[in-house]
Amino acid sequence: DERDKVIVAGYPGAALRSFRDFGRVSFAEGIISKFTELDSPEGTVKHIQITAPVNPGNSGGPLFNEFGQVVGINVQKSMTSVLVVDPSAPQGVRQERVPLGEGVAWAILSDELLVELDRLHLPFIATRSKPNVFAAEFGRQPVLFTFIGLTLVLVMVAVSLLVNRRSRIVIKDAVTRGRDVLTKHVAAPAKAAKYPVLRGITGPYANATLPLDAEQIAIGRDASMCQLVMPSDATDIGRRHCTVRWDRANTVFFLEDCWTANGTFLDNSERIDSATPRRLKPGERFYLANRHFQFEVAMETKS
């Protein structure tokens, strides 16, 4: 948010005064002035205007918020060219770049970089929320919160030891009588084994059924990045549009959008957040960009 505190990190050459400082990271603070867009040869790029100083050595480095989350990459500051007197120059003057105003610098918004990280298969964790107050304080003072937690555990143990002994005996007798009443166990019929699948509802994979094993399935137009490849002329679909996976430990499906322009939607037309796994139950449907490319996750009985 605007006016939030930010921190730049790097190795600014202007700060190097001793070889003992070589390799030591320098930090500087500022705030977010505003969110803006700047033109580049590749198109419009989202930027953050900040007051933290950006110099050769920390440009290209990370921009952190106060919780240690990377929110951008430092790229430039406001500069201009001026003529300065220099007796050693051929004509007695030379051109030099100097800051144009104070506290004006820019960082590329981290959202612009996530698509490239995903394309290069580099692991990362993305979030659109800040830690809550409790989590932030725990990060600053873990020893204090650990001590408080241990104290609460000891108090609960002490209270449990003070429970009336007679009550415990009554419960024990009731359990014993109940166990004596059960003279035999009726074996429940074995359930038919099921396995997770992805079904095509509409589009080129309509009526097709694909098993979902431990590996996730990526859906998109780029065969080098996806296991389920869509037609090249389906331009509404991203090169790597979304992923679907089966979580065997928790027996649920997870659907994740890969920062697409046209989005991934649930059957109720809700657009899911990018890089945020969405839990799906068997029988739930989703679609890519529009309902011409619809799928369903399900459990099928093994024959």
pTM for this entry: 0.43
pLDDT band at 128 (very low <50, low <70, confident <90, very high): low
Instruction: Return mean pLDDT, the chain.
Output: 79
Pick the residue with more confidence: 137 or 224?
Answer: 224
pLDDT above 60 (res 195):
yes
pLDDT at 173: 57
pLDDT above 90 (res 97):
no
> Following DSSP, what letter does each residue of 2-62 receive, concatenated?
TT-EEEEEE--GGG--SGGGTTPPEEEEEEEEEEEEEEETTEEEEEEEE-S---TTTTTSE
pLDDT at 287: 98
Distance CA 282, CA 246 (A): 10
Lowest mean pLDDT among 78-87, 157-166, 291-300: 157-166
Lowest mean pLDDT among 100-109, 207-216, 235-244: 100-109
pLDDT at 203: 94
Domains and CATH numbers, the chain: 5-80+96-122 (2.40.10.10), 194-301 (2.60.200.20)
Task: Tell me what the mean pLDDT of segment 68-82 comes to.
Answer: 77
Pick the residue with more confidence: 227 or 20?
Answer: 227
pLDDT at 183: 46
pLDDT at 166: 52
Q: What percent of the chain has pLDDT over 90?
A: 29
Nearest to 72 by CA among 57, 44, 55, 50: 50
DSSP-assigned beta bridge partners for residue 243: 218, 256
pLDDT at 108: 87
pLDDT band at 188 (very low <50, low <70, confident <90, very high): low
Tokens 């505190």, residue? 5
Lowest mean pLDDT among 70-84, 108-122, 228-242: 70-84
